[in-house]
Each structure stands twice: as C-alpha cells, then as structure tokens.
Amino acid sequence: MQDYNSAALSIQKKYRGWKGRKDFLAFRQKVVKIQAHLRGYQVRKEYKVCWAVGILEKVVLRWRRRGVGLRGLRLEEEPIEDSEDEDILKLFRKHRVDAAINDAVSRVLSMVDSPEAR
C-alpha cells in the first residue's frame, strides 16, 4: 500500500509540474505577443508623426524654392540660396525636437501627479 501511495504522489507531482510549466509558457507567449503588438503600434504611430513632419518640410522647402513642382519643373526665377534652405530645415528640426521634449516632460509630470503611476 505504501508503494502505491508514493507512486501516486510522485506521478501527481510530475503532472502538476508539467501542467504548471505548460500554463506558464503559454501565458508568457501571450504576454510577448501583446508586448510586440504594442511596440509595433507605438513605432508606427511615431513613424506617422515623423513622416508627416518630413512631408511638411518638403512642402515648405518647395514653397521657398518658388516653383519647384511635383515633377521638379522650375520656373525662370532667381534661385534661392542654399543657406536659406538649411536655415528652414534647422528651424523645423529644432521645433520637432522641442515638441518631443515638451511631450516627454508633460508625460513625466502627469506620472508624478498620478498616485497610481507612482
């Protein structure tokens, strides 16, 4: 009788360990999938913002060059200096960095104010 009880106990321990590990691995895999989807969403969202700012930069630069169309056709006007184009690019990039910094600061301040985030 003692041998049957010890055999049953060892079988139960092995089964519970196997079942617990199987459940843990399945749960971990689901967590990894959720994290991957969330990271992908955040990257795509950031990419859309960068893409929109890039298009805006192109539009403004074309407007500043006066007459460069979609096909690159140029009207007969005085050429604009390259230094002006670089200044506009620097201004837009600085504005984009400032906006990103302000966004990060506002996130941190909202976390500091929130008791749940603390």
How many domains would you assign to the chain?
Answer: 2
Together in a domain, 57 and 105 = no
Together in a domain, 91 and 57 = no
- Amino acid 70 reads L
Per-residue pLDDT of the chain (118 residues; tens, 9 = 90+): 788 999 999 999 999 999 999 999 999 999 999 999 999 888 887 777 777 777 777 777 766 666 554 445 455 555 555 565 567 667 667 777 777 777 777 777 777 777 776 5
Residue 7 lies in a domain: yes
Together in a domain, 15 and 60 = yes
Together in a domain, 52 and 11 = yes
State which residues form the domain around 113. Answer: 84-117
Together in a domain, 59 and 28 = yes
pTM above 0.75, yes or no: no
